[in-house]
């Protein structure tokens, strides 16, 4: 599906996208945004699941198992803490109104 040079193009465009998307972020959002981007690379969970699925030896299963567990921590933890932090920003705005 993703072959050679097209992968390179995806890489280049995604890099520009990432850079542009947050180029004007205010300091107050640095911490939540870092946490949020931390959550997004939790997509590694999908890869870890595939890797575990392909495993045929005990060694591979063991490593794959750890991979999935770690990735799940990344994804779930990243979401929970980001949501909590950002939730406080919004909750307060409603109080103000």
Partner 1 sequence: MTGHIIQISYFIAAVLFIFGMKGMSSPLGAQKGIVWAGAGMLLATLVTFLDGNIIKNVDHRTVNYILMIIAIAIGGGLAWVSGKKVQMTDMPQMIALYNGMGGGAAAAIAATQLIGGHIQSTTAGTLAVLGALIGSVSFSGSLIAYAKLQGILKGVFSLPKHQWITYSVFAIAVLMGAAIAATSGMFSWIVVLFFVLALLFGVLMTLPIGGADMPVVISLFNALTGLAVAFEGFVLNNAAMIIAGTVVGAAGTLLTQLMAKAMNRSIAKLLSPAPPSVGGAQEVVGSMREIGAQDAAILMAYAQKVIIIPGYGMAVAQAQHKVWELTQLLEEKGIEVKFAIHPVAGRMPGHMNVLLAEAGVNYERIFDLDEINPEFPQADVVLVIGANDVVNPVARTDKSSPIYGMPILNADMAKNVVVIKRGQGSGFSGIENALFYKENTKMFYGGGQEAVNKLIAEVKQL
Which phi and psi angles does 44 have, rounded to 5°?
Answer: -55, -20
Minimum Å distance from CB 39 to partner 1? 6
Q: Counting contacts by CB under 8 A, is residue 23 touching partner 1?
A: yes
Site residues (CB under 8 A) for partner 1, limited to 78-97: 78-90, 92-93, 95-96
Site residues (CB under 8 A) for partner 1, limited to 29-68: 29-57, 59-61, 63-68
Q: Which strand (E) or helix (H) includes residue 36?
A: helix 30-40
Q: Counting contacts by CB under 8 A, is residue 70 touching partner 1?
A: yes
Task: Decide: 73 and 42 in contact? Cβ < 8 Å.
Answer: no
Task: Decide: 75 and 21 in contact? Cβ < 8 Å.
Answer: no
Minimum Å distance from CB 32 to partner 1? 6
Minimum Å distance from CB 50 to partner 1? 5
C-alpha–C-alpha distance, residues 33 and 24, integer Å? 12
Q: Counting contacts by CB under 8 A, is residue 5 touching partner 1?
A: no
């Amino acid at each position: 599906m993703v072959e050679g040079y097209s992968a390179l193009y995806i890489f280049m465009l995604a890099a520009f996208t990432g850079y542009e998307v947050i180029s004007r972020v205010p300091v107050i959002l640095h911490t939540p945004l870092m946490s949020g981007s931390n959550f997004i690379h939790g997509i590694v969970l999908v890869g870890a699941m595939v890797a575990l699925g392909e495993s045929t030896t005990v060694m591979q299963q063991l490593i794959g198992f750890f991979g999935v567990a770690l990735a799940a921590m990344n994804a779930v933890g990243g979401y929970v803490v980001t949501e909590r932090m950002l939730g406080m920003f919004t909750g307060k705005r409603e109080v103000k109104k």
